[in-house]
A and B are shown apart, each in its own frame.
Chain A
Amino acid sequence: MKALVAPSKMALALAFAAAVAAPSAFADIKVGLNVPLTGFAAADGNSAQIGAKLAVEKANAEGGVNGEKINLIIYDDQASAKEATPVATKLIERDQVVGAVSGSYSAATRPAAQIFQAAEVPYVVAYSIDPSVTRTGDYMFRVSSMGEVQGRGGAKLVHELGKKRVVLITLKNDFGQTLARGFKEAAPKFDLDIVNEYEYDIKDRQFGSLIARVKADNPEVIYASGYYFNAGPLVSQMRAAGITVPIIGQEGYDSEKFIEIAGPAAEGTLLVTSLDRDSDVPVTQEFLKTFRETAGFGADMVGASTYTAMAILIEGLRKTGGKGGAELRDAIAEGTYTMPIGELKFNDLHEVSKDLQVQVVKDGAFHRHSVLHDPELLAPPTKDSK
């Protein structure tokens, strides 16, 4: 008898149905990344993106997650809260990522964190150091030391240099202000005398008047926060003005661009950071080498921490077989990780506790100066602490 539907059409319909209804074993595992690709922070966003991509490529080359490829979905958030919110929403609702990494500044990460927490999607934060990020909830993870911890490390470094009189130059944003807060908190422990503190705006490149006042203050050491586009001009102008005392920077300086801008003035600048260029840990050296080959410039802190954040997310996914939600959150929380930025383990607030690396600029490159080891001083906050 005649078929109700022509056989060829039936076959086509069946094939179509099969394709659409195919089990997700054929679908990639999707992870999200928000980075500033345009706007004032685009250089950092670019480094972060490269770091994240390296982690994904490495994992996929090793077989992905249980044989399935990891699909990295990247959106530009311009390091702005306004842009980060729709980006986070898109990643969750349209792209349905199982986990995400923040490769952006605190301004963008904070609102995104709220959204990821509400959707119960694990969010591993690379270098945003504002305290409120992990306080947002238990789906948040941070792989960099919190701002205050780094600031306390700075105070300890001043003490180890044998200095007492400090001037603080603080970038007026989350990054700079949390660093300054930590520094000021630890300063009494080392009997430091903070002669003065000056705050400046992220768009400033000319520091003539600030430097005039610092010269009048006559400190023994300067603790100055900023990104490479602030620090480069600042250090260069300070040395040109005849300031010879040590200058201590942080992760914001941790980019070859800083050395390029400041030129010879960069020599001797100290950085409290987490990437040791002279490390003999194989993971670190391999990362440094691959980053340079891929990017064409040396790895910076932003690239290294975003790589780390993505790598940790992937390791969590390997444990859950690609599943997200609470299972992924717990898998990430339990792990111990050997990463380019150190041996990492999360506490109950999902903050990391580790030594801080002090690098110094010597012969136009970053080299190891010392290590700040003080688990008590550098302890991150816990769920119960203030």
Chain B
Amino acid sequence: MLFIELVAQGLVQGSIYALIALGLTLVYGLLRILHIAHAALFTLGGYIGVLTTNATGSLTIACIAAMIGAGIVGVIIYRLCYEPILNQPPFVALIASIGLYIAFEEAFRILFGAAGLTYNAAPLQQQVAIFGSLYFSQAEIMVMASSVAIIAALGYLQSHTRVGIACQATVSDPQMAESFGIRLRTVRDLNFFVGSALAGFAGVWVALLNNLVEPTMGSVPSYKALAIIVLGGMGSVPGTLMASLVLGVTESFGTVYLDRWLDRNAVAFAFLILVLMFRPQGLFARR
């Protein structure tokens, strides 16, 4: 029973990681940029979610607002920060991204206060019983369900629609893709928009699960998402999902059996190191 509960908790956590890591893998897959500032969009989504829900009482409106808001800011980040330095070595973009993330963190603190915000009346807190004695809050179920749905949709889009294939083409051969009429900039904007919207969406749910949004809430996801995309095979959407879930479950067990020696993040990275020692290309690398 305990075993099943721990697995279940791991899957909830893993679903959240998947939503965040997906955006990162989309950006990496497209532009080979390690977009640390992605986590700032996660936090932004959280803030928009809380503020909108508190103002309107509707979580649905909040999700939409957060996704659109984060998506737009994501595109702005691409245009202003990454596009000008696309032909520089990758570490330039990485450093710019880290600096941008730090700036965002402080901006959130200055704008919204250091203590963070909470929902006035957090929705979806009701406990629901699955399989008899396994309890989840409605919010936890929503996170898992939406995570799976979104990833399935994305996977389908990537391989079965013109847009998706166009995206893949811009990665393999940008010049050829352009000569076929695919506008690189549009593909990239779209990519950042979708990835950032996902992070924003994740932010709304994490803020709901904790009833707290803080300026620094993206600090751990910022580098953990990187670890996940490495684990999943950089750029692979199904790989990222699997890696997220595996990491979530590993952390779930690690935090309650190894807690005397390793905390949650130490467990995560110990796991990453172990995997990479035996499979340097990641757990679920692209064929």
Instruction: Please list the residues of chain A having a beta carbon within 8 angstroms of any beta carbon in chain B.
Output: 37-40, 42-43, 45-46, 172, 198-201, 203-206, 208-210, 212-213, 216, 229, 232-233, 236, 240-242, 257, 260-263
Please measure, in the bound complex, the distance between the C-alpha atom of A199 and the C-alpha atom of B256, giving whole angstroms. Answer: 8
Contact A206 B13 (CB under 8 A): yes
Please measure, in the bound complex, the distance between the C-alpha atom of A67 and the C-alpha atom of B252, giving whole angstroms. Answer: 61
Contact B118 A200 (CB under 8 A): no
* B9: Cβ under 8 A from any A Cβ: yes
Closest Cβ of chain A to B19, distance in Å, is 14
Contact A199 B260 (CB under 8 A): yes
Restricting to B77-133, which residues have a CB under 8 Å from any CB of A? 106, 109, 113-116, 118, 122, 125, 127
Out of B12, B125, B260, name the residue touching A208 (CB < 8 Å): B12
Chain B residue nearest in CB terms to A37:
B114
Please measure, in the bound complex, the distance between the C-alpha atom of A127 and the C-alpha atom of B209, giving whole angstroms. Answer: 30
> Tally of A-B residue pairs with Cβ under 8 A?
104
* B195: Cβ under 8 A from any A Cβ: no
* B175: Cβ under 8 A from any A Cβ: no
Given A200-B264, A240-B127; A40-B216 close (CB under 8 Å): yes
* B64: Cβ under 8 A from any A Cβ: no
* B274: Cβ under 8 A from any A Cβ: no
Please measure, in the bound complex, the distance between the C-alpha atom of A200 and the C-alpha atom of B257, giving whole angstroms. Answer: 11
For the complex of A and B, list the 10 residue pairs with the smallest distance between their C-beta atoms, beginning with the closest: A42-B114, A208-B9, A201-B263, A43-B115, A212-B5, A209-B252, A205-B210, A43-B114, A233-B210, A209-B9
Chain B residue nearest in CB terms to A228:
B115
Please measure, in the bound complex, the distance between the C-alpha atom of A198 and the C-alpha atom of B115, giving whole angstroms. Answer: 26
* B212: Cβ under 8 A from any A Cβ: yes
Contact A199 B2 (CB under 8 A): no
Restricting to B208-231, which residues have a CB under 8 Å from any CB of A? 209-212, 214-217, 219-220
Interface string of B26-47 (1 = CB under 8 A from A): 0000000000000000000000
Please measure, in the bound complex, the distance between the C-alpha atom of A261 and the C-alpha atom of B5, giving whole angstroms. Answer: 25
* A–B pairs, 11, beta carbons within 8 Å: A40-B219, A203-B264, A203-B265, A208-B9, A209-B251, A209-B256, A212-B5, A229-B116, A232-B118, A233-B209, A242-B135
Please measure, in the bound complex, the distance between the C-alpha atom of A199 and the C-alpha atom of B266, giving whole angstroms. Answer: 13
User: CB-CB < 8 A to B214: which residues of A?
Assistant: 40, 229
Restricting to B8-22, which residues have a CB under 8 Å from any CB of A? 9-10, 12-13
Contact A241 B135 (CB under 8 A): yes
Given A38-B109, A208-B12; A232-B212 close (CB under 8 Å): yes
* B51: Cβ under 8 A from any A Cβ: no
Given A208-B9, A208-B13, A209-B255; A233-B264 close (CB under 8 Å): no
Chain B residue nearest in CB terms to A199:
B259
Between A46, A233, A263, the greatest number of chain B beta carbons within 10 A of the residue's beta carbon is seen for A263
Chain A residue nearest in CB terms to B214:
A229
* B253: Cβ under 8 A from any A Cβ: yes
Main secondary structure of the interface of A (DSSP, over half): helix
Please measure, in the bound complex, the distance between the C-alpha atom of A316 and the C-alpha atom of B35, giving whole angstroms. Answer: 53
* B137: Cβ under 8 A from any A Cβ: yes
Out of A209, A233, A261, name the residue touching B10 (CB < 8 Å): A209
* B148: Cβ under 8 A from any A Cβ: no
User: CB-CB < 8 A to A208: which residues of B?
Assistant: 9, 12-13, 252
Given A38-B106, A233-B210; A198-B259 close (CB under 8 Å): yes
Please measure, in the bound complex, the distance between the C-alpha atom of A53 and the C-alpha atom of B215, giving whole angstroms. Answer: 25
User: CB-CB < 8 A to B171: which residues of A?
Assistant: none
Closest Cβ of chain B to A206, distance in Å, is 6
User: CB-CB < 8 A to B209: which residues of A?
Assistant: 205-206, 233
* B169: Cβ under 8 A from any A Cβ: no
Closest Cβ of chain B to A359, distance in Å, is 20
Contact A232 B259 (CB under 8 A): no
* B184: Cβ under 8 A from any A Cβ: no
Please measure, in the bound complex, the distance between the C-alpha atom of A199 and the C-alpha atom of B12, giving whole angstroms. Answer: 21
User: CB-CB < 8 A to A43: which residues of B?
Assistant: 113-116
Out of B2, B109, B125, B211, name the residue touching A216 (CB < 8 Å): B2
User: CB-CB < 8 A to A198: which residues of B?
Assistant: 256, 259
User: CB-CB < 8 A to A40: which residues of B?
Assistant: 214, 216, 219
Contact A229 B212 (CB under 8 A): yes
Out of B106, B127, B211, name the residue touching A236 (CB < 8 Å): B211
Closest Cβ of chain B to A35, distance in Å, is 11
Please measure, in the bound complex, the distance between the C-alpha atom of A160 and the C-alpha atom of B210, giving whole angstroms. Answer: 32
User: CB-CB < 8 A to B264: which residues of A?
Assistant: 200-201, 203-204
User: CB-CB < 8 A to A206: which residues of B?
Assistant: 12-13, 209-210
Closest Cβ of chain B to A211, distance in Å, is 8
Between B6, B9, B211, the greatest number of chain A beta carbons within 10 A of the residue's beta carbon is seen for B211
Out of B113, B212, B251, name the residue touching A233 (CB < 8 Å): B212
Between A199, A205, A206, A216, the greatest number of chain B beta carbons within 10 A of the residue's beta carbon is seen for A206
User: CB-CB < 8 A to A261: which residues of B?
Assistant: 118, 210-212
Closest Cβ of chain A to B55, distance in Å, is 17
Interface string of B227-263 (1 = CB under 8 A from A): 0000000000000000000000001110110011001
Closest Cβ of chain B to A238, distance in Å, is 12
Closest Cβ of chain A to B50, distance in Å, is 12
Contact B212 A210 (CB under 8 A): no
Please measure, in the bound complex, the distance between the C-alpha atom of A242 and the C-alpha atom of B136, giving whole angstroms. Answer: 11
Chain A residue nearest in CB terms to B260:
A199
User: CB-CB < 8 A to A240: which residues of B?
Assistant: 125, 127, 137
User: CB-CB < 8 A to A232: which residues of B?
Assistant: 118, 210-212
Chain B residue nearest in CB terms to A205:
B210
Restricting to B118-174, which residues have a CB under 8 Å from any CB of A? 118, 122, 125, 127, 135, 137
